[in-house]
Amino acid sequence: MPHFDAATAECLVFTYKEGLLSAIAHDLEIRVERFDVDVDEPALAVRARFDPASLRVVTAVREGAPTPGALSDSDKAKIEDNIRGEVLSVRDYPEIRFVSSAITRDGNAARITGDLTLHGKTRPVTVDARAEGDRLVAEARLHQPDFGIKPYSAMLGTLKIKPGLLVRCTFPLASLPMPA
């Protein structure tokens, strides 16, 4: 059974800004530093656990490109504190889980459906996976309010994070039974 964690795979979360003062804010690339993903080869089932307290801001993103240096270490720490405390309430919800219910292949791509438990709510989620070079890239779009999460806002709502975000995980393709 292939097993992946932060030493063998990568999991990133991308958030997007909106609001009247969005010009002074940043879209963000955030890394999940502690997670486990297991792929059961005979059943082609996926089980994953993510530690929401391990989210770390990698960089600000502007027009789809990383902007290193746009955020100080202090800015990153403050954002991470807000994510853990105000957004994800990690003391009350210390784990995020995904369990697949079906996987369908289409050439070098796959669609993985399953249940995601986040912030105490379990909802169906679809993950689209595709081969890119020697990696499998799996992406899911999440709508925070579906999980009872109020997207972060500041300055009386003039600066806020859009409710939709992107989760992207990449795995070494050679270690996986799907897609080939």
Q: How far is CA 23 from the centre of its chain?
A: 24
Q: What is the mean pLDDT of residues 20-41?
A: 85
Place of tokens 């369990």: 99
**pTM higher than 0.85:** yes
The string of DSSP codes covering 78-97 is HHHHHIIIIIS-TTT---EE
Domains detected in the chain = 3-175 (2.40.128.110)
The backbone region for 119, taken as left when phi is positive above 0, alpha when psi lies in -120 to 50, beta otherwise, is left
pLDDT of residue 180: 41
pLDDT of residue 179: 42
90-148 tens-digit pLDDT: 999 999 999 999 999 888 899 999 999 999 999 999 999 999 999 999 999 999 999 99
Q: What is the mean pLDDT of residues 153-164?
A: 76
Q: What is the mean pLDDT of residues 152-169?
A: 82
